[in-house]
Amino acid sequence: MYVRDTIAAISTPAGEGGIGIIRVSGDRAEDIAEKIFIRNMSGGMKSHRFYYGAIADPDEAVSLDEAMVVLMRSPKSYTREDVVEIQCHGGYLVVRKILDLVLKQGARLAEPGEFTKRAFLNGRIDLVQAEAVIDVIRGKTDAAVMLAQHQREGHLSLRIHEARENIVYALAMIEAYLDFPEEDIEFAEDCEIVNSVKGALGKIDNLIDGFDEGRVLREGVSVLIAGKPNVGKSSLLNTLLQEKRAIVTSVPGTTRDIIEEVVNIAGLPVKMLDTAGIRQTDDVVEKEGVRLALEKIAIADLVLFVLDGSRVFDEADGLILDAVAGSNVIVVKNKSDLAPVMIIPDLLLEKPAVEISTVTGTGIDALKELIFSTFIHNRAVDSREYVVLSQARHRDVLQKAGGCLKTFLENFGAGMSLEIVALDLRDALHALGEVTGETTPDDILDLIFQRFCIGK
Amino acid sequence: MVVFEKSYDVIVVGAGHAGCEAALAAARMGRSTLLLTINLDAIALMSCNPAIGGLAKGHLVREIDALGGEMGKNIDATGIQFRILNTKKGPAVRASRAQADKQQYRLRMKRVLENQDNLELKQAEVTGLSVENGTVCGVDTKVGIRYPAKTIILTTGTFMRGLIHVGLTNYPGGRAGDPPSIGISDHLRELGFEVGRLKTGTPARLDGRTIDFDRLEVQHGDAEPTPFSFSTDRIDCAQMDCHIAYTNEKTHDIIRSALDRSPLYGGVIQGVGPRYCPSIEDKVVRFPEKSRHQTFLEPEGRDTVEIYPSGLSTSLPIDVQYAMYRSIHGLEQVEIMRPAYAIEYDYVDPIQLHASLETKLIRNLYHAGQINGTSGYEEAAAQGLMAGINAALRVQEKEPLVLGRNEAYIGVLIDDLVTLGAKEPYRMFTSRAEYRLLLREDNADLRLRDKGHVVGLLPDEDYQAFQYKRTMIGEEFERLRFGKISPAASDPLFLEQLGFSGLKNSLTFEQFLRRPDITYSHLCQIDPVSRDVPAIIREQVEIQIKYQGYIDRQQLEVERAAKFEGTKIPADFDYGGLSGLSAEVREKLVRFRPDTLGQASRIPGVTPAAITVLAIAIRALGAR
Ligand SMILES: Cc1cc2nc3c(=O)[nH]c(=O)nc-3n(C[C@H](O)[C@H](O)[C@H](O)COP(=O)(O)OP(=O)(O)OC[C@H]3O[C@@H](n4cnc5c(N)ncnc54)[C@H](O)[C@@H]3O)c2cc1C
């Protein structure tokens, strides 16, 4: 029924402290553990015993973390296959790095529910139990769909769809040439095909850069607090930092420099940037601050657009709205302890929003949750066996597709036969299919018939 | 109803391209077979284009031939112009095409049918089926005879409730000159089938004596015609020419000004037409920027002046047809012998079929050809052949023969039909085959001869010839693997010319041939023995060597997909009782009732998660 390859996943919820567990199941589990687990004792591991040691990349010889490792030999394990569990010190970054290492050694990232599926297929659990798991899988797919509608994700899949369009176009041009040699139609120029594929590749490369989760975890993410003067930006920063850092006064323009602080939100390192309140000003020093702030908007991974809910949305707010329009934004309506006055303009209605009060502390947890889930998508989902899949998958998908497109460009450039290079484009579409849905032959034919007058 | 004295194993309804293959296959497999058709003078008639083959269609013909069908042999015997298309492209997308002598084609097929053991032909119009307990057991005809049979194959083509349109005038007909088939589709609907309506069209037939061919571009056949059939050694007959003409702005103006008299644009025609075979008015409307459209003027045969102008099908009124054709350069004086027309007809959506082409609703009833929403002779013949084989296997109480998508275009065709259904007329294209590099014309025999022989369709002598060829291919591979070119023993200048300068170690012949640009003719210069290898063996070996990497890659994909393809879903599987499926997916599965997980995975909208759920549930059923 399934390929007996070795699978791995993080089996503790993402980002929660305490310990993190990486579970590996399959014939190669023990092998992989032996490669990356360094311990003082000699000899192989015995089944069902805890061993203490360190996890290290054999290629780099730097240890990542201390760890406890237990091997459960088949059939006395959850999946009835050889299972290795690596326990380390929580911290999302470390756990993820160890998982990456395990994957690098040849394991494959487990599908949602795959451990349970194996347990079922190997007769470890019965149908009733399995069906419960199926519901979870189902739930996860639905959650994935919901996530897709999420602003950032929506943006991602939109871009992937654009890349797909480019590839479909190139493939349609090639297929038309192959399937309709007798038609009186003008076939696409080579450069048209190449440009279309390059366009797709460019988009994909951009996405990979932008969505490199490794980067997110290694360097943390940067979150910019933007808002006109005195809406409570610094108070928000302080609340998030849980200590007073920025000077808080009621004189507009007090915070003139960019203040950087790192907070840890559920294991995710978040670099908070507070800015000088943006407003049109003549003060030279402050002008500099405003300029800096505007610049930062462009490079921040996320902008918290802070508004004063107790006042009307005014021109100064509008100025900032213009500046953040192209960014990833969370609307933070502060001062929920006062009477609500502000009506959020339509343009912002689609953005995720949260009401807070830095005075009473309401809404702060919700805000943290929102920041976290912007970057780590599956937090909302029960995360046993389910790592940042949607992101890791996307990256995977994009890398695979990008690889196919590069091969295509090489082969096409070398003058290889078109029915052969068409394979590379099909593979690329197939890879993207996980996000965009499969591209069927009819999709290609549709485009051919739309563009060319075919019909003898 | 009078019940006929004799009962048959297989009755085939309709002697079009599907019906002929179906009847021959069943009879050749030793089943007592009856072929009923409305008009015995219109057997295997080419309703439209007097041509067989083309991209993907040529592939189908070679596959039909490899399995033991007749189409390839029939066109080899009656073709008047043969060409291989795409010769400059890779072997997977090379395809054979031939112009046929329309009358000879039909007459030869009739002769073959009449000379076939176990096969009877009768002229009759079938108006209903006799069905007992969900199993078909005979057919009723218009003249009041019921013919009993174990299995029935319906191949009614464009005939069911056929309605012919010329301008705003229309009349019932199955094809110009033939009556429609009335009653049977209503009966199918009563039995519970979903019956839909499609449309197609054909150009006028022109009088060749009134065309100024001297002013037109000529298109010759290949100097050396290549046969379709693996059993045909060579084709010797003289070849005829086609000519190429073009419409112009004047033609387009004539068409545009007459659109209000088009049944298509006037909304008279309800059926869905094929996008890849648009009428000329469609082309003019959809591509206004195109200043001309091409037409091939194809002779309808050796002994007739009738000319078929491809690409100029229309349902415009007859006066517009005259004006339009006569506006074409070279056709100023042209006379129309048969007007162009469009036809609407009933079809039965093929998602109601198993991959064996048996209907899911009624046991022992098979549908093949245009009744399934396809268009084209080759598509029809391919289905006819499979339905014939599977009806015969049913009578023999054997498992049906279902070809995989990795085994044949026939497999792709039928799988597409039964998993996706047909909302518009379906035609085969090579781009529909995900394993295109494996499904070549050149290796159709290697892919399918065994299967044709196992079911008892392929005659022994054809099979033996094939086995001989296969052995020779194997031996040649062996020879190439061991034969070596050593730099010391070869002419250094020759090697250098071929880009092998600085060759240190010796090279096997196989490695040598693997290089792009290197062919057998180069090998022959180094190795005299290679000169004796027959051309068909060389061709096959060379293609396999050159394509090896890609063939392997596709083979890997095939293996990956195999686990789903092989998993059967029980016919009575209860989707309602399965938790974990979304309502939408559940509804689709209930509607399509896929036979295998592979089929299920190709139904649009059925998600990978749903397939996992299904896989687990099926596995659980098996365990119980
Ligand atoms: C006007 C027209 C235009 C076409 N244009 C194209 C085109 O552009 N491209 C293309 O690829 N294909 C075209 N075709 C389709 C092509 O002719 C068919 O796809 C092909 O012939 C279908 O083969 P078949 O065996 O399914 O049916 P047909 O060849 O139609 O044969 C059906 C047979 O069944 C018999 N029959 C029907 N009902 C009964 C009954 N109740 N009892 C007994 N016998 C019955 C008929 O007499 C006939 O012999 C066109 C067909 C027509 C008529």
What spacing in Å lies between the alpha carbon of A321 and ligand 1's midpoint?
65
Cβ within 8 Å, pair A453-B287: yes
**What band does A21 get if pLDDT is binned at 50, 70 and 90?**
confident
Percent of chain B with pLDDT over 70: 99
**Whether pLDDT at A1 is above 70:** no
Q: Which has the minimum average pLDDT: A168-182, A434-448, B150-164, B475-489?
A: A434-448
Q: How far is CA B554 from the centre of its chain?
A: 23
Cβ within 8 Å, pair B615-A417: no
Establish if A455 touches chain B: CB-CB under 8 angstroms: yes
Cβ within 8 Å, pair A456-B310: yes
Cα–Cα distance for residue pair B56/B62, rounded to 1 Å: 10
Most B CBs within 10 Å: which of A120, A124, A389, A417, as the mutation test of the B interface? A417
Q: Whose CA is nearest to atom 20 of ligand 1?
A: B377
| Chain A residue numbers touching B563 (CB-CB < 8 A) | 1-2
What is the three-state SS of A393-434? HHHHHHHHHHHHHHHHHHHHHCCCCHHHHHHHHHHHHHHHHH
The residues that bridge with A90 in the sheet, in sequence order, are none
Buried-state track B19-42, b at ≥16 Cβ within 10 A, e below 16: bbbbbbbbbbbebbbbbbbbebeb
Ligand 1 pocket check for B339: Cβ under 6 Å: no
Q: Which residue has the higher pLDDT, B18 or B583?
A: B18
Most B CBs within 10 Å: which of A142, A419, A421, as the mutation test of the B interface? A419
Percent of chain A with pLDDT over 70: 70
**What band does A44 get if pLDDT is binned at 50, 70 and 90?**
confident
User: Is B117:B29 a contact under the CB 8 Å cutoff?
Assistant: no
pLDDT for A134 equals: 53
Q: What H or E segment, with its residue span, contains residue A131? A: helix A127-149
Cβ within 8 Å, pair B609-A138: yes
Establish if A134 touches chain B: CB-CB under 8 angstroms: yes
Planar angle of CA A93, A94, A95, nearest 5 degrees: 95
Torsional sign, CA A413, A414, A415, A421: negative
Establish if B149 touches chain A: CB-CB under 8 angstroms: no
**What band does A147 get if pLDDT is binned at 50, 70 and 90?**
very low
User: Is A250:A234 a contact under the CB 8 Å cutoff?
Assistant: no
Q: Which residue has the higher pLDDT, B467 or A151?
A: B467
Cα–Cα distance for residue pair A66/A90, rounded to 1 Å: 11
Closest-CA residue of B relative to A176 is B431
Establish if A43 touches chain B: CB-CB under 8 angstroms: no
Q: Which has the minimum average pLDDT: A2-16, A298-312, B270-284, B409-423?
A: A2-16
DSSP readout, A304-341? EEEEETTS---HHHHHHHHHHTTS-EEEEEE-TTSPP-
Give the nearest ligand 1 atom to B384 CA: 25
Establish if B89 touches chain A: CB-CB under 8 angstroms: yes
Q: Phi and psi of B145, rounded to 5°?
A: -105, 140
Give the nearest ligand 1 atom to B371 CA: 26
Closest-CA residue of B relative to A441 is B432
pLDDT for A289 equals: 57
**Whether pLDDT at B603 is above 80:** yes
What spacing in Å lies between the alpha carbon of B161 and ligand 1's midpoint?
12
What spacing in Å lies between the alpha carbon of B371 and ligand 1's midpoint?
9
**What band does B353 get if pLDDT is binned at 50, 70 and 90?**
very high
pLDDT for A288 equals: 58
Which residues 279-308 of chain B have a CB within 8 Å of chain A?
282-283, 286-287, 290, 292-294, 296
**Whether pLDDT at A116 is above 80:** no
Question: Can you tell me which residue has the tokens 């006819």?
Answer: B384
User: Is A145:A138 a contact under the CB 8 Å cutoff?
Assistant: no
Cα–Cα distance for residue pair A111/A233, rounded to 1 Å: 41
Tell me the pLDDT tens digit for each residue of A202-259. Answer: 888 877 765 554 455 545 678 888 888 888 888 888 888 774 444 444 444 444 444 5
**Whether pLDDT at A150 is above 50:** no
From B11, B12, B17, B379, mutation site for ligand 1 pocket: most ligand atoms within 8 A of C-beta = B17
Q: Which residue has the higher pLDDT, B164 or A383?
A: B164
Residue B192 CB burial class (10 angstroms; 0-12, 13-18, ≥19): exposed
Cα–Cα distance for residue pair A394/B533, rounded to 1 Å: 52
Residue A187: count other Cβ atoms within 10 Å of its Cβ.
Answer: 15
Q: Which residue has the higher pLDDT, A3 or A221?
A: A221
Query: Could you give the C-alpha distances from B590 to B223, B297, B578, B595, in angstroms and in order?
Result: 54, 48, 12, 11
What spacing in Å lies between the alpha carbon of A319 and ligand 1's midpoint?
69
pLDDT for B208 equals: 97
pLDDT for A137 equals: 47
Average pLDDT over residues B305-330: 96
Ligand 1 pocket check for B175: Cβ under 6 Å: yes
Q: What H or E segment, with its residue span, contains residue B344? A: strand B341-348
pLDDT for A292 equals: 64
Average pLDDT over residues B556-576: 85
Cβ within 8 Å, pair A134-B616: yes
**What band does B297 get if pLDDT is binned at 50, 70 and 90?**
very high
Q: Which has the minimum average pLDDT: A63-67, B365-369, B482-486?
A: A63-67
**What band does B579 get if pLDDT is binned at 50, 70 and 90?**
low
Which residues 591-610 of chain B have a CB within 8 Å of chain A?
604, 607, 609
Ligand 1 pocket check for B202: Cβ under 6 Å: yes
Mean pLDDT of chain A: 75
Tell me the pLDDT tens digit for each residue of A370-380. Answer: 887 777 654 33
The minimal CB distance from A134 to the residues B54, B90, B580 is found for B580
Cβ within 8 Å, pair A181-B613: no
Average pLDDT over residues A432-438: 72
Residue B136: count other Cβ atoms within 10 Å of its Cβ.
Answer: 23
Closest-CA residue of B relative to A186 is B290
Establish if B311 touches chain A: CB-CB under 8 angstroms: yes
Establish if A453 touches chain B: CB-CB under 8 angstroms: yes
pLDDT for A451 equals: 73
**DSSP assigned state of B527:** -
pLDDT for A327 equals: 76
Domains in chain A: ranges and CATH? 7-110 (3.30.1360.120), 130-210+388-449 (1.20.120.430), 217-375 (3.40.50.300)
Q: Phi and psi of B103, rounded to 5°?
A: -70, -45
pLDDT for B609 equals: 66
**Whether pLDDT at A335 is above 70:** yes
From B106, B298, B377, mutation site for ligand 1 pocket: most ligand atoms within 8 A of C-beta = B377
The residues that bridge with A332 in the sheet, in sequence order, are A306, A354
DSSP readout, B377-445? HHHHHHHHHHHHHHHHHHHTT-------TTT-HHHHHHHHHHHH--SS-B---GGG-TTTTT--STTHH
Query: Could you give the C-alpha distances from B301 to A22, B212, B245, in angstroms and in order?
Result: 74, 18, 19
**Whether pLDDT at B36 is above 80:** yes
- Of the candidates B591, B584, B560, the one whose C-alpha atom is nearest the C-alpha of residue B418 is B591
pLDDT for A282 equals: 58
Highest mean pLDDT among A190-199, B399-408, B592-601: B399-408
Establish if A179 touches chain B: CB-CB under 8 angstroms: yes
Distance from CA of B553 to the nearest CA of A (A): 10
Q: Which residue has the higher pLDDT, B149 or A453?
A: B149
Average pLDDT over residues B121-147: 97
The minimal CB distance from B55 to the residues A111, A113, A181 is found for A181
Domains in chain B: ranges and CATH? 2-201+345-430 (3.50.50.60), 205-342 (2.40.30.260), 461-557 (1.10.10.1800), 567-623 (1.10.150.570)
Average pLDDT over residues B240-263: 95
User: Is B515:B508 a contact under the CB 8 Å cutoff?
Assistant: no
Residue A2 CB burial class (10 angstroms; 0-12, 13-18, ≥19): middle
Which residues 31-50 of chain B have a CB within 8 Å of chain A?
49
Distance from CA of A127 to the nearest CA of B (A): 7
Q: How far is CA A67 from the centre of its chain?
A: 27
Percent of chain B with pLDDT over 90: 76
**Whether pLDDT at B178 is above 70:** yes
Q: What H or E segment, with its residue span, contains residue B366? A: strand B365-367
**What band does A130 get if pLDDT is binned at 50, 70 and 90?**
low
Tell me the pLDDT tens digit for each residue of B425-467. Answer: 999 999 999 999 999 999 999 999 999 999 999 999 999 999 9
Q: For the whole model, what pTM was predicted? A: 0.75
pLDDT for B76 equals: 98
Q: How far is CA B121 from the centre of its chain?
A: 24
Query: Could you give the C-alpha distances from A143 to A388, A390, A441, B289, in angstroms and in order?
Result: 13, 10, 29, 47
Residue B260 CB burial class (10 angstroms; 0-12, 13-18, ≥19): exposed
Ligand 1 pocket check for B138: Cβ under 6 Å: no
Mean pLDDT of chain B: 93
pLDDT for A211 equals: 56
| Chain A residue numbers touching B415 (CB-CB < 8 A) | none
pLDDT for A145 equals: 36
| Chain B residue numbers touching A419 (CB-CB < 8 A) | 89-90, 92-93, 430, 436-437
Establish if A135 touches chain B: CB-CB under 8 angstroms: yes
Average pLDDT over residues A273-292: 59
- Of the candidates B355, B347, B482, the one whose C-alpha atom is nearest the C-alpha of residue B422 is B347
Ligand 1 pocket check for B15: Cβ under 6 Å: yes
Average pLDDT over residues B506-528: 88
pLDDT for A254 equals: 44
pLDDT for A392 equals: 56
Closest-CA residue of B relative to A141 is B609
Cβ within 8 Å, pair B311-A456: yes
Closest-CA residue of B relative to A414 is B516
pLDDT for A127 equals: 55
The minimal CB distance from B431 to the residues A175, A181, A184 is found for A175
Average pLDDT over residues A359-366: 88
Average pLDDT over residues B191-208: 96
Cα–Cα distance for residue pair A418/A174, rounded to 1 Å: 7
Residue type, B331: L
User: Is A313:A307 a contact under the CB 8 Å cutoff?
Assistant: yes
**Whether pLDDT at B620 is above 60:** yes
**Whether pLDDT at B71 is above 90:** yes
User: Is B188:B140 a contact under the CB 8 Å cutoff?
Assistant: no
Cα–Cα distance for residue pair B113/B12, rounded to 1 Å: 12
What spacing in Å lies between the alpha carbon of A179 and ligand 1's midpoint?
24
Closest-CA residue of B relative to A182 is B85
What spacing in Å lies between the alpha carbon of B38 and ligand 1's midpoint?
12
